[in-house]
Structure 1
Amino acid sequence: MSRLDAGELAIRLGRRAEAVCRNYLSNGRREGHYWLVGDVNNTPGRSMYVRLTGPETGKGAAGKWTDAAVPDAHGDLLDVIAASIGRSDFRSIAAEARRFLSLPDPDPPEGAESDRTPAPSGSPEAARRLLAISQPIRGTLAETYLRSRGITALHDLGSLHFHPGCYYRPEGSRVTRTLPAMVAAVTDLTSTVTGAHRTWLPADGAWKPGIEIPRRAMGGLLGNGVRFGRLGAVMAGGEGIETVLSVRSGLPRMPMIAALSAAHLAAIAFPAELRRLYVVRDRDPAGNRARDSLISSATAVGIEAVDLTPRGGDFNDDLRDGGLDALLALLRDQLHPDDAGRFLGG
């Protein structure tokens, strides 16, 4: 696509700037002629402001935004959409913009015929294609599912998607079904999609205690994971998506990664800027081994590792059993003093 196409999409989004903000920056609010939010990743706060009115182009155009807390951080509503869906390629961003605006794709990409060639089952390419045909989770059964598990950290969820009819074959069965699923993007340190994780959901989206939820991952997982928030000097790593998002309900501003299993948690790759790593472990033998291995690996390269231990089997158990206030108290007792004021919610 040409730059003119990008400009036209930005203008059309600007004409509906408030609707775009309400959909993709839902943790913010309107004040006068601006939409205020924490940042382009939909973090609660007020440092980023989006113009809701103004000319279609040029200085002060509707849809233009600036983040006063980050030097030279500015852009348009296409950047907001990119952050929301967790993609950097213009084709995916434009497709989501057109979906929001109810516009058809006027220029199918060259080589579309080759896209019909099946990708190898379980491959990174198969994962990328699944993510490309999935949608953001806002307002879907995937959001209902997370809320049913007590999770309130529903920002920075560009890595999570929803598919209403994802293929599922029970173990030992020859029959493939289609079921709604939460689809998570697995990425490496450069934000390249290397795999996907599927969590098949009940028909009403509501999880109930004692009900086993089928999960499967595909693609390149080793060293990678499902990421929430921007990489920084401090981050947390855990096994499951629900466990990590439970901790993030109490630490909403801390970047985190879900490695999807104990074995993969022990092998996550460290960002170059990382200085302190919180290890979010499950209280079981596999979780203990993953914690010990990850702490050893981090310490060996000069990264301070801090153990975060749940009171119950995992932090989602703690969140559902005791509520957010009890979770906050538990986390506060285990955080480094420098991080309590910076990251702790509540």
Structure 2
Amino acid sequence: MDSSAADLSQKLSREAEAVCHQYLSNGRKHGHYWVVGDVDNTPGRSLYVRLTGPTHGKGAAGKWTDAATGEHGDLLDLIAANLNLTSLADTLEEARRFLSLPRQEPPAIATQVPAPRGSPEAARRLWAMGRPIAGTLAERYLSARGLTDLRSVSALRFHPNCYYWREDADADDAPDTWSALLAKVTDTAGALTGVHRTWLDPQTTGKAPLDPNRKAMGNLLGHAVRVGTPSDIIAVGEGLETMLSLRQALAGLPIAAALSGNHLAAFDPPTDLCRLYVAIDNDEAGQAAFGTLTDRFEDIDLQLLPLRPMLDDFNSDLREYGIDKMRSHLRPQLSPVDVQMLPMAEDS
């Protein structure tokens, strides 16, 4: 480990519990450890982080191990895995941001060749420019839709000045810039294939007055915005807010947002899946997508289970009825084994 990384690792170890509260908010303190499901902040007890001890060496604070996977490391490794950061420079920059240390001046780099608009490479560059949603307009937008405790979701980022090209603009027109919620689209291996953008209005904290105010870029077919680590089950649906609402109600359920009815019908699920829950929006597109998925997988050993909202989608259910009534509505739709496994609050 180079000297700057070692220094930051020691600084983080002195703030081990604060690091866990920030990046592993679904866990809890248990004695001298913080316990959570995995590096993606899934509820559970597989991963444990030492909160006390020396700043380095044997028994150091901040050392963590995932008993299920054998993964282990220090708090720099944890931050990188939680936010899917692929370079040491990005990881150190995020650690400095958390510790409120001054930014290091970046080295001079050669001018990049512009990536084709809407391409996977353009999506990768846009994603790299995003930052965590904590304290941003993106977090306020999601909170206004009843969606909370999302700071550690690594598939979400915020961009304060994201380009928007109007559909009727001339080729020489400059794009507008608006703040945007970014959502990372990945394949089953976790590789970024695209980015979904929701442009936001800082005056209202709602969607920006644009038509359309959402667009995706990159390679989307078969892929999705994914939150949580699938084991033998996953839930897939169309909209981002719809699936985040379902995740809020069933905190142990991994989710995927395919972003449209057509892309839902083409969703590529992980291998070795036993049950695929399909969140069906209450419209023709949702019903058609579920029918297509049923036809696609009828000859393989994969159980498809529909999840139907009370209103048009699960975000409407969450905002109109609240989480307890939503859970009461979902419970009979789950496989009995999952009712026992997934965290379910007592119905009110």
Q: What's the TM-score once normalised by structure 1's chain length?
A: 0.89
Kindly tell me: are residues 74 and 292 of structure 1, through their superposed partners in 2, closer, same or farther at Cα, counting changes over 3 Å?
A: same
One of 163, 167, 185 as aligned partner of 2:159: 163
What is the aligned partner in structure 2 of residue 74 from structure 1?
Answer: 72
Secondary structure, in 3 states, of the residue corresponding to 1:145?
helix
| One-letter code aligned to 1:161 | R
- TM-superposed CA distance for 1:8, in Å, is 3.8
Q: Deviations over 1:55-87 (max 9, x none)?
A: 22221112112345x263432212321233233
- TM-superposed CA distance for 1:220, in Å, is 0.6
Contact kept? 1:43, 1:253, Cα under 8 Å? yes
Structure 1 Cα separation of the partners of residues 148 and 97 of structure 2: 26
Kindly tell me: are residues 236 and 285 of structure 1, through their superposed partners in 2, closer, same or farther at Cα, counting changes over 3 Å?
A: same
Contact kept? 1:28, 1:45, Cα under 8 Å? yes
Kindly tell me: are residues 253 and 336 of structure 1, through their superposed partners in 2, closer, same or farther at Cα, counting changes over 3 Å?
A: same
Structure 1 Cα separation of the partners of residues 229 and 69 of structure 2: 16
Kindly tell me: are residues 274 and 319 of structure 1, through their superposed partners in 2, closer, same or farther at Cα, counting changes over 3 Å?
A: same
- Gaps of at least 5 residues in structure 2 are none
- TM-superposed CA distance for 1:9, in Å, is 3.4
Secondary structure, in 3 states, of the residue corresponding to 1:300?
coil
| One-letter code aligned to 1:233 | D
What is the aligned partner in structure 2 of residue 64 from structure 1?
Answer: 63
RMSD in angstroms over aligned alpha carbons? Answer: 2.6
The question of 1:150 aligning with 2:146 is answered yes
The question of 1:263 aligning with 2:262 is answered yes
What is the aligned partner in structure 2 of residue 130 from structure 1?
Answer: 126
Secondary structure, in 3 states, of the residue corresponding to 2:40?
coil
What is the aligned partner in structure 1 of residue 321 from structure 2?
Answer: 322
Query: How many residue pairs end up in the alignment?
Result: 340
Structure 2 Cα separation of the partners of residues 236 and 141 of structure 1: 27
What is the aligned partner in structure 1 of residue 193 from structure 2?
Answer: 194
Structure 1 Cα separation of the partners of residues 80 and 294 of structure 2: 34
* Range that drifts further, 149-158 or 216-225: 149-158
Q: Deviations over 1:4-52 (max 9, x none)?
A: 5544432232233233223222334556644344432223455543223
- Gaps of at least 5 residues in structure 1 are none
What is the aligned partner in structure 2 of residue 94 from structure 1?
Answer: 92
Structure 2 Cα separation of the partners of residues 64 and 303 of structure 1: 38
Contact kept? 1:168, 1:176, Cα under 8 Å? yes
Contact kept? 1:43, 1:155, Cα under 8 Å? no
Contact kept? 2:23, 2:151, Cα under 8 Å? no
Secondary structure, in 3 states, of the residue corresponding to 2:256?
strand
Q: What's the TM-score once normalised by structure 2's chain length?
A: 0.88
Contact kept? 1:153, 1:252, Cα under 8 Å? no
Structure 1 Cα separation of the partners of residues 89 and 276 of structure 2: 35
Contact kept? 1:278, 1:305, Cα under 8 Å? yes
Structure 2 Cα separation of the partners of residues 207 and 106 of structure 1: 35
Contact kept? 1:200, 1:213, Cα under 8 Å? no
Contact kept? 2:36, 2:43, Cα under 8 Å? yes
Structure 1 Cα separation of the partners of residues 242 and 258 of structure 2: 11
Secondary structure, in 3 states, of the residue corresponding to 1:53?
coil
Matches within 5 A, 1:23-34: 23-30=22-29, 33-34=32-33
Contact kept? 1:124, 1:218, Cα under 8 Å? yes
Contact kept? 1:196, 1:218, Cα under 8 Å? yes
Q: Deviations over 1:124-164 (max 9, x none)?
A: 11111111111111222211111111124627610100111
